[in-house]
Chain A
Amino acid sequence: MRLTFAVGRIPIEIVVMPIHQVPHSRRQNRPPIGRRARSAAAVVAGRASGALARRLRLGGGTSLPGLVANRLDPEITAYLGAQLRHGCVVVTGTNGKTTSSGLIASVLRAARLRVWRNREGANLARGITASLVIRALPTGNLRRGGNAVAVFEVDEASFPQVMRELRPRAVVVTNLFRDQLDRYGEVDTVAERWRNALADLSTTATLILNADDPAVAALADADPLVNTIYYGVDEAPAALLEGTAAGEIEVVDTRTCPRCHGPLTYSVRFYSHVGHWACPSCGFARPTPAVRARELVADGLDGMSFLLETPSGAQEAHIGLPGFYNVYNALAAAAVGLALNAPLATTITALGSFKPAFGRAERIAVGERAVRLLLAKNPTGMNETLRALATGGRIGHIMLALNDYPADGEDVSWIWDADIERLRAIVGPDTQLTVSGVRAYDLALRLKYAEIAPQHVEPEIPKALAHALAQTPAGDTLVIIPTYTALLAVRGELERQGYAPHYWEQRDVGA
């Protein structure tokens, strides 16, 4: 069997000789080709391809072992996944997947479990396969007898396939917003795919859903027999909700009841369609969440505090992540903790000690300066990032970067749906604002129509970053708001200069 594919621009060819083609003399006394042999071959080839890609410094290639292993054994994911002694937790949704999985891993680790995760950016089906393959032995068995729990963040489009291959003990769905319409399709289409994927969930599994997002809460309809834990925010201070809609059309991604399509009403709306909703036509309403937050307090860019209430008690919690939306990520993690019987005190400690994940409010020291990376890849993500920034007052140095590669979404229309006008509360007369990325000119135009004038427009990210850093005085922070591949470019540049760890070294591979 001959596998050819390309990593970046470099073509790779792997020739695998199936066992029945090996000359007879060399396969004496071998067991008949079976499940294990096929899986073992897949693991060996997958791991070899990964090692090769890394040796050749092809970069990125984090899904390669999965791609190769899956070609040799299409059932490899299911086979290895079934060996996980503590099962796996799958996290999907539009926003908050990475941070939620990071927080969940933190909680489970604090509960003394070994946690395996998929690598940053490897959240398509083959990335999940890769994360299992690199933890398997040449025998086709998981390392350490599979004595671990896996936490996988899964791209919303890959979710159905991953659900077919794995039998997760818990599934978390964070929210559903419009994102990359050119790639994922409209929100209704995504919700329908998720519902179908959840129909086959094992009855022993726990479904963990955001009660405040009607499209997500309705996913419990997919299988009424499944145990469901809802999480939600009970109340939020008005100060955290300011700055919604700049007198324009407000973009809300779910307006109608997921059950009867009647119009939804809200007693309180936190952002977009997230809040305390009800459908007057059919009576469907926000379910009462078991895991709740109230008394939210923002601590600028440094974090959020809130009272965490669960069936096992209530306690003050703090996370080192800014923004209202990160409270939801913490609640998702607390709900997983509840589902897997982690004590509340353990959960609180784990949440508090969590360090921001890759580009999600991540802080990197650059000499005497600091860079704060805040990924924003869709209108709601951008709106909430800007709102979180606004709680900290004016910011001296900001860089925005917009790319339109497939991983960003090729359609940049979304910047017009985002409330970029909110930057007016953050940008002062002395603010140095740099705009970059492949679509820097589109972004500069969006700012112009929000009546914000950038000082510097430079499509090339390394140049723009150098300029923005040079403008940032020692002791100050440069806030960077990039799309996904722009984040990779910024981080890549900081890595090259020796300031940030390589992203594939950042996660707990092999632990």
Chain B
Amino acid sequence: MLAHNQTADGNAGPALRLGHLYPDQLNVYGDRGNIITLRQRCRWRGIMLDVLPLQLGDELVPERYDMLFIGGGQDREQDEVARDLREKKSAGLRAAVEADMPVLAVCGGYQLLARYYRPAVGPELPGAAIFDAWTVHSGKEVARCVGNVALSWRESTLVGFENHGGRTFLAPGAEPLGRVLAGHGNNSEDHLEGCVYRNTFGTYLHGSLLPKNPHFADYLIQLALQRRYGIDSVEATLAPLDDSAEWQAHRAMLQRLGVS
């Protein structure tokens, strides 16, 4: 376990602050599971994780957060969110990203952090342009990318469920999150999934993503702790947890997809 020494905040043990963007609008596909997972995995190690909502109209002040999360929503709500993101949060978000804050963007949130979203009809929606990538929706006649999905990620795998009508393409040089082992990924064509820029991760995987991928959840927590407390600090050392239930669910999905 971690040493429960006093921190700068005067609390016992390390503490992290997670900014949850648009929790009321972007919460469609089990996004809550990602928050629950981050909170519990921190709690079980004596790390206090404060989840702070970033609502429509709120300014994003990077100094207030150690980590950011943005999920997926319905189309109508996405328009409203895209506008707010441009007008109220893009400068703060850009600063947080460039300062290596860990950011996780899932599904609609991933699309919003790319350069633009081009719907089948209507004008192009500019995004936050964190990722050098763009999304095209060719209309209702084109089948959605729906189903279970597995990726290679670093030396390991990620599993989840995807459900998106838009196809995302990465510019040359943009780094994908992983390679598709089973499922569609970004666009069903190039076998790439998600996008990474500095410590910002965009992905189509929900299911929810983090519960069945505890190594990815811990990677995000670790990045946040290192950034806040220094790379070699006691606080940035993650105590291991018993993840047998997590890996059982992860492996069951790999097996089912014929990936292992």
Question: Contact at B161–A248, with CB atoms within 8 Å?
Answer: no
B 1-53 contacts with A by CB, 8 A: 20, 23-25, 27-33, 35-37, 40
Shortest beta-carbon distance, A401 to chain B, in Å? 15
Chain B residues with CB below 8 A from A188, complex form: 74-76
State A256–B37 Cα separation when bound (angstroms): 28
A 409-461 contacts with B by CB, 8 A: 410-417, 441-442, 444-446, 448-449, 451
Question: Contact at A444–B207, with CB atoms within 8 Å?
Answer: no
From the candidates A249, A251, A446, name the one contacting B211 in the complex (CB within 8 A). Answer: A446
Known: A411-B163, A413-B206, A446-B211. A248 touches B35 (CB 8 A): yes
From the candidates A416, A441, A449, name the one contacting B252 in the complex (CB within 8 A). Answer: A441
Question: Contact at A249–B27, with CB atoms within 8 Å?
Answer: yes
From the candidates A186, A410, A445, A451, name the one contacting B249 in the complex (CB within 8 A). Answer: A445
From the candidates A252, A255, A414, name the one contacting B30 in the complex (CB within 8 A). Answer: A414
Chain A residues with CB below 8 A from B171, complex form: none
Chain A residues with CB below 8 A from B31, complex form: 416
Known: A178-B28, A249-B20. A445 touches B211 (CB 8 A): yes
Chain A residues with CB below 8 A from B146, complex form: 182, 410-411
Question: Contact at A444–B20, with CB atoms within 8 Å?
Answer: no
Interface presence of B212 (CB below 8 A)? yes
From the candidates A252, A255, A417, A445, name the one contacting B245 in the complex (CB within 8 A). Answer: A445
Known: A186-B75, A411-B207, A445-B211. A181 touches B248 (CB 8 A): no
Question: Contact at A186–B32, with CB atoms within 8 Å?
Answer: no
Chain B residues with CB below 8 A from A442, complex form: 211-212, 249
Question: Contact at B32–A249, with CB atoms within 8 Å?
Answer: yes
B 65-97 contacts with A by CB, 8 A: 74-77
Question: Contact at A261–B76, with CB atoms within 8 Å?
Answer: yes
Question: Contact at B28–A416, with CB atoms within 8 Å?
Answer: no
State A502–B167 Cα separation when bound (angstroms): 46
Chain A residues with CB below 8 A from B40, complex form: 449, 451
Known: A411-B207, A416-B208, A446-B211. A441 touches B36 (CB 8 A): no
Known: A442-B212, A448-B245. A413 touches B33 (CB 8 A): yes
From the candidates A186, A251, A411, name the one contacting B161 in the complex (CB within 8 A). Answer: A411
Interface size class of A (residues with CB under 8 A): 20 to 34
State A89–B245 Cα separation when bound (angstroms): 47
Question: Contact at A416–B75, with CB atoms within 8 Å?
Answer: no
Chain B residue with minimal CB distance to A442?
A: B249
Interface presence of A187 (CB below 8 A)? yes
Interface presence of B139 (CB below 8 A)? no
Shortest beta-carbon distance, A174 to chain B, in Å? 21
Chain A residue with minimal CB distance to B73?
A: A186
Question: Contact at A249–B37, with CB atoms within 8 Å?
Answer: no
Shortest beta-carbon distance, B29 to chain A, in Å? 5
Q: Which of B32, B148, B161, B212 has the most chain A CB atoms closer than 10 A to its own CB?
A: B32
Interface presence of B147 (CB below 8 A)? yes
Interface presence of B58 (CB below 8 A)? no
B 236-260 contacts with A by CB, 8 A: 245-246, 248-249, 252
Chain B residue with minimal CB distance to A183?
A: B146
From the candidates B20, B25, B33, name the one contacting A416 in the complex (CB within 8 A). Answer: B33
Known: A413-B161, A413-B206, A417-B32. A186 touches B74 (CB 8 A): yes
Question: Contact at B161–A410, with CB atoms within 8 Å?
Answer: yes
From the candidates A181, A248, A256, name the one contacting B32 in the complex (CB within 8 A). Answer: A248
Known: A182-B146, A410-B147, A446-B211. A441 touches B32 (CB 8 A): no
Question: Contact at A251–B249, with CB atoms within 8 Å?
Answer: no
State A442–B37 Cα separation when bound (angstroms): 13
Question: Contact at B212–A445, with CB atoms within 8 Å?
Answer: yes
Question: Contact at A449–B30, with CB atoms within 8 Å?
Answer: no
Chain B residue with minimal CB distance to A454?
A: B245
From the candidates A249, A256, A261, A444, name the one contacting B35 in the complex (CB within 8 A). Answer: A249
Chain B residues with CB below 8 A from A255, complex form: 24-25
A 181-197 contacts with B by CB, 8 A: 181-182, 186-188
What are 20 A-B contacts with C-beta separation under 8 Å?
A: A178-B28, A182-B161, A249-B20, A249-B27, A249-B32, A249-B35, A255-B24, A256-B77, A410-B148, A411-B29, A411-B30, A414-B30, A416-B36, A417-B33, A441-B245, A441-B252, A444-B248, A445-B212, A446-B211, A449-B37
Q: Which residues of A contact B (CB under 8 A)?
A: 178, 181-182, 186-188, 248-249, 251-252, 255-256, 261, 410-417, 441-442, 444-446, 448-449, 451
Q: A412-B161, A416-B31, A445-B246 are known contacts; what are 8 more A-B pairs with Cβ within 8 Å?
A: A249-B35, A251-B27, A251-B32, A252-B24, A410-B161, A411-B161, A417-B32, A442-B211
